Amino acid sequence: MNLAQILPKFPAAYVGKYYHFKGVHHGQGQQIHIELSQPLWVHTDGEVTRKSQAVTISCLPHCLNLIM
């Protein structure tokens, strides 16, 4: 999604009603691996880490909710 597609969805995301939007996926797991067609900047906790084409995120069970 580009910025013009994301901005109108913020009010719904704020109250947790974003699952029905096209391009929004919900899943649960201890590890998530994302592969992209082109490298994008990776942000962790507001900090820019690096530009990458693949990202693997691991966390403790039931400790973190992600919106992607």
Across the chain, which has 68 residues, the per-10-residue mean pLDDT values are 80 78 78 91 79 86 70
Asked if the structure places residue 68 within a domain, the reply is no
What is the count of structural domains for the chain?
Answer: 1
- Integer Cα distance of 29 and 62 in angstroms: 9
Backbone Cα Rg of the chain: 13
Phi first, then psi: what are they for 20, rounded to 5°? Answer: -85, -5
Asked if the structure places residue 66 within a domain, the reply is no
Report the 10 Å Cβ neighbour count for 57: 15
Asked if the structure places residue 64 within a domain, the reply is no
Residue 35 confidence (pLDDT): 94
Residue 10 confidence (pLDDT): 80
Asked if the structure places residue 41 within a domain, the reply is yes
pTM check: above 0.75:
no
Asked if the structure places residue 51 within a domain, the reply is yes
Domain that holds residue 38: 3-58
Decide: helix, strand or coil at residue 39: strand
Residue 21 confidence (pLDDT): 82
